[in-house]
Amino acid sequence: MFTGLIETTGKVLSLQPTEGATRITLVAPQLAGRWKVGDSIAVNGVCLTALLADDETRFAADLAEETIRRTTLTSLQPGTPINLELPTPAGSPLGGHVVQGHVDGTGKLVSLVPLHPDQDTSDWRMTIEIPSTLAPFIVPQGSITIDGISLTVAKIDGLHIEIAVIPHTYQATNLHSLAPGSPVNLETDVLSKYAAQRTAHAAMDWLTLDFILSNGY
């Protein structure tokens, strides 16, 4: 499990198709010595299994077809900054929210603008276009993970969500490298998904065999 609090950023070194999978290799000096082969690492919000690369500042991971289909990882170019987070140890403070690293789909950055452009340090307002399939799981003031970053939805306008970004988050993550139109990984709050599933099941509780027979079906 992750929290969406980005520990550091790294960079994509290469994407190489191999027999049965695509291998991504990344450089992450700040994580050197803190992981071993088989560990989970969140890369732009995607939970990947770390494989050994040529030195401890680098790691590789194989991307399954499902990962390729649901995420932006294979669209990343060498040199692209990526957000990195190691799993949260049991008993640690949960500073963000429960993030599984199971990306639901991708969205698109519409805009990211400073609220105080005349100042050296400014909050930012980010607008993301979301797919319609994810809309039921996103609520105002609810949590959402964007490229692995735990953020709070400030406003929803149709299929656009707005998010307030503090200066630290803007500088310490990949957000400052994104341009309008950039695809981003989205993971909705797992609690909202469970709630939606429970509601859907409850709504069908009336559809019993007795009901079907008594109504002539």
Q: What mean pLDDT is reported for the chain?
A: 90
Task: State which residues form the domain around 43.
Answer: 8-85
Per-position b or e across 82-116, b if 16+ CB within 10 A of its CB: bbbbbbbeeeeeeebbbbebebbebbebeebeeee
Neighbours of 120 (CB within 10 A): 6
Question: Residue 128: which CATH number?
Answer: 2.40.30.20
Q: What is the pLDDT of residue 202?
A: 60
pLDDT category at 216 given cuts 50, 70, 90 is low
In a domain, 127, yes or no: yes
In a domain, 95, yes or no: no
As a whole number, mean pLDDT of residues 80-96 equals 89
In whole angstroms, what is the distance from residue 124 CA to residue 147 CA? Answer: 16
Q: Domain end: 24, 51, 85, which one?
A: 85
pLDDT: is 185 or 211 the higher one? 185
Residue 194 and residue 110 share a domain: yes
As a whole number, mean pLDDT of residues 58-65 equals 95
Residue 120 and residue 184 share a domain: yes
Residue 17 and residue 81 share a domain: yes
In a domain, 15, yes or no: yes
- This prediction has a pTM of 0.88
Q: Which residues contact 154 (CB under 8 A, 6 or more apart)?
A: 140, 141, 161, 162, 163, 164
pLDDT digits 0-9 by tens, 153-183: 999 999 999 999 999 999 999 999 999 999 9
